[in-house]
Structure 1
Amino acid sequence: MTDSVSRIALAGFGAWGQMHARALGAIDGAEVVAVYCHGESSAKAAAEHLPDVPRFDDYEAMLAAGGYDVVSVTVPNHAHSRFACLALDAGANVFLEKPAGLSLRQCDEVIAAADRTGGRVAVNHELRVSHQWKAVRDIVAAGDIGPVRYQHLSLFRHKFRQGSGGWRYDPQKVGSWVLEELVHFFDLVMWYAAENGRPARVRTVGNGGTDGLIRNFAATLEWADGSAAVLSQCLSGFEHHTLLEVSGETGAVRTWWTGAMDRTPHPEFALKVQRGDREPEPIDIPRSGEVFELEENLRLALAGFREGRSIFSPREARLAVEICLAADEAYRTGAPVELPR
């Protein structure tokens, strides 16, 4: 990697891999130099959108060809950890889509590979750089609402896209729909309540589906200090609507986002904070949405790699996977799951 140019090999060119390519195209000093396509449709898309970029139908052959500094991994969930480890062993830094793995063992394999090779891995939890969702953490960290005592986060959306070959509807490939989507929101509520320490237990209820593919799912995270976070995910809805409410000891935050779909460039959103007994105050948000946040997170990750650091390491991302797995277990067993301290 030179000081001015990051050479990126794309591992995967499905719908989200194509989003990565568009985002990278908007970043100064980012150059896509290779793309791995695991099927005919993705190869055709790469030929159309990246006609001058070498295409590979064998991931290890792409790695062996060299000429890159960073591998951006956007393959289905079950392959995340393996592709990341192979890229690290090939001498690359890795921008890794969430989740970091479908098990804690897979997460630990990525962590160990990064430690062994000295490579950096940035896991893509893009909401952490959002003007909207990061603003909530900034408000909490500034002490504007006091210690966090209660959180409510709900997602109401249309059903998932199938993904290439229907992988989002294959439990062996997606892991679960908690790991596919709620992993973002478990990460957020634990970030907002970071001063409260690790959650102590998780309880869940739900309906509509089996084998981890549950359409209507609700989880409660409980902390030892009595604070709590309630998260719900409805995949039986329409459009894409997210609501967050956070109550602290001396104030509260409420924010929402709505769009025709998750990747819309023209959503509606708002954020208000109440500090003490004052009237709720609207907070200006210049823009919000994963279309924008992916680009910003890639920009920050590449800058971090050039400086020899990760903006969000697999060791940090592991906790959200741990909580997702515990929530899935709580649903399977019908009993609360105690979390290790």
Structure 2
Amino acid sequence: MLNVAIIGTGAISPSHIEAYLQFPEHCKIVALCDIYPEKAGHQAKEFNLDVEVYDDHKQMLDRNDIDLVSVCTPPYTHSEITINLLDAGKNVLVEKPMASSIEECNAMNEAAERNQKMLSVISQNRFRTPMMKLKKVLETKMMGPIVHAQVDSFWWRGHSYYDLWWRGTWEKEGGGCTLNHAVHHIDIFKWLNGMPSEVTAVMSNTSHDNAEVEDVSVAICRYDDGSLAQITSSVVHHGEEQQLIFQGKNARVSSPWKVKASKSKENGFPELDEELETRIQNYYNELDEIQFEGHKGQIYDVLTALEQGTTVLVDGKQGRQTLELISAIYESASTGKTIKLPLTKENLFYTREGTQKNATYFYEKKTAIEKFSENDITVGGN
């Protein structure tokens, strides 16, 4: 039985609590922590939890009975809290994005290795049946080499969204929609298609004059084999339609699931390749559904890894790589230059200080509400 603590009892924490409660034979929640302890107390009451409540994560570092901690605080706090926990001998599951800079990600991974503890980064949308099936379909190579990929990370957030005290600033949120919303799809894209060799990007703030950060960005990625990918990150798209499309030389597949295949007529124009479409569709249909999805799926993966001594699907090194691609998008969009990957210490957006100094500031943040009364959030579709 693993004892679990949760730090940060804001909008995303119920997803963690509900997931842990799904596995009472594997874990028990024993502590909640928030700088507003009344929020933690309210959540304990809401979920009928018998827990200790803290207002500072350092107060629980000496508790030897805590095995695993979910870190659900704002991104700028992730590095310090995670390193403190790892150095105290605890395993950590940290919400996305992993941190505010590549430098911080490196320090977190070093702490995990130094203490021989698990560090996992939330990427809950990997743990959905359509994504797992798409991964396996792509691995068959039936589509041929991928020549173009399209990532539409479309979300919508009202003007008041950025009134919350830590949102909408380069210092505390670390970026806008590219970092804090599209991170889901950028992680999956990288998992499915690998890291590109260079990035060219633009970004803007079209609808949120209460935020320093972007509310839409478009990036073009180039791979060494000449293939391209485009990533659109947004909180200004009504309907929140999200998709990943992979165009191979022989066929295209996507999430939400769709398969189309073409073959060439004598004059070069397309005709339907029914045989290939059927083959791909049949393979997709035969793949098993996963037992637990979303946060439940990832937390089950973490609990299983800790109990059995296996590796997690999403570790700190993968979390770092996702942030590396996002940092390249920000550097390109802010400087107007194409950015080569991998990034080095010489890159302007390698550190938190470099990001804050070199990022484009669209507007001055003038509103800072401590907390909203409503706690409902959306965490992406299939």
User: TM bucket by the smaller chain?
Assistant: 0.7 to 0.9
1:150 matched to 2:148? The reply is yes
Q: Give the length in aligned residue pairs.
A: 318
1:272 matched to 2:276? The reply is no
The alpha-carbon distance between structure 1 residues 46 and 62, as it changes in their structure 2 partners (threshold 3 A), is same
User: Hey, what's the Cα distance between the residues in 2 that align with 1:179 and 1:215?
Assistant: 10
**Contact 1:97–1:123 (Cα < 8 Å) also in 2:** yes
1:332 matched to 2:334? The reply is yes
Q: Which residue of 1 aligns with 2:250?
A: 250
**Contact 1:37–1:43 (Cα < 8 Å) also in 2:** no
Aligned amino acid, residue 247 of structure 1: Q
Deviation at 1:286, TM superposition (A): 9.0
Q: Which residue of 2 aligns with 1:89?
A: 87
1:167 matched to 2:166? The reply is yes
**Contact 2:153–2:181 (Cα < 8 Å) also in 1:** no
| SS state at 2:214 partner | coil
1:318 matched to 2:320? The reply is yes
Aligned amino acid, residue 104 of structure 2: Q
The superposition leaves residues 107-166 of structure 1 with CA deviations (integer Å, 9 ceiling, x where unpaired) of: 011111011100011111122221112222111111221221111111222117848943
The superposition leaves residues 14-72 of structure 1 with CA deviations (integer Å, 9 ceiling, x where unpaired) of: 11112210111112422101111221434433343344211111211122233211011
Q: TM-score, normalised by structure 2?
A: 0.77
Q: Which residue of 1 aligns with 2:200?
A: 203
User: Hey, what's the Cα distance between the residues in 2 that align with 1:68 and 1:302?
Assistant: 13
User: Hey, what's the Cα distance between the residues in 1 that align with 2:204 and 2:105?
Assistant: 28
Aligned amino acid, residue 168 of structure 1: R
1:18 matched to 2:14? The reply is yes
Aligned amino acid, residue 133 of structure 1: M
User: Hey, what's the Cα distance between the residues in 1 that align with 2:5 and 2:163?
Assistant: 20
1:303-314 alignment, distance < 5 Å:
303-311=304-312, 312-314=314-316
Aligned amino acid, residue 303 of structure 1: T
Aligned amino acid, residue 321 of structure 1: L
Matching residue within 24, 28, 32 for 1:31: 28
Q: Which residue of 2 aligns with 1:260?
A: none
User: Hey, what's the Cα distance between the residues in 2 that align with 1:221 and 1:243?
Assistant: 17
Deviation at 1:325, TM superposition (A): 0.6
User: Hey, what's the Cα distance between the residues in 2 that align with 1:15 and 1:340?
Assistant: 33
Deviation at 1:89, TM superposition (A): 1.0
Q: Which residue of 2 aligns with 1:125?
A: 123
1:176 matched to 2:149? The reply is no
**Contact 1:171–1:212 (Cα < 8 Å) also in 2:** yes
- Larger strand fraction of residues: 1
The runs of 5 or more residues in structure 1 that have no matched partner are 257-270
Q: TM-score, normalised by structure 1?
A: 0.85
User: Hey, what's the Cα distance between the residues in 1 that align with 2:140 and 2:173?
Assistant: 37
Q: Which moves more between the two structures, 323-332 or 56-65?
A: 56-65
The alpha-carbon distance between structure 1 residues 303 and 152, as it changes in their structure 2 partners (threshold 3 A), is same
User: Hey, what's the Cα distance between the residues in 2 that align with 1:7 and 1:313?
Assistant: 20
Aligned amino acid, residue 300 of structure 1: D
User: Hey, what's the Cα distance between the residues in 2 that align with 1:90 and 1:275?
Assistant: 54
The runs of 5 or more residues in structure 2 that have no matched partner are 263-272, 344-382
1:67-106 alignment, distance < 5 Å:
67-106=65-104
Identical-residue share of aligned pairs (%):
24
Aligned amino acid, residue 173 of structure 1: K
**Contact 1:120–1:309 (Cα < 8 Å) also in 2:** no
| SS state at 1:171 partner | coil
Aligned amino acid, residue 299 of structure 1: Y
| SS state at 1:204 partner | strand
Report the aligned-residue RMSD.
2.5
| SS state at 1:83 partner | helix
**Contact 1:152–1:230 (Cα < 8 Å) also in 2:** yes
Deviation at 1:324, TM superposition (A): 0.5
Q: Which residue of 1 aligns with 2:5?
A: 9
| Higher CA-based Rg | 2
User: Hey, what's the Cα distance between the residues in 1 that align with 2:253 and 2:2?
Assistant: 38
Q: Which moves more between the two structures, 110-119 or 207-216?
A: 207-216
| SS state at 1:138 partner | helix
**Contact 1:149–1:228 (Cα < 8 Å) also in 2:** yes
The superposition leaves residues 233-266 of structure 1 with CA deviations (integer Å, 9 ceiling, x where unpaired) of: 221133421022111122210323xxxxxxxxxx
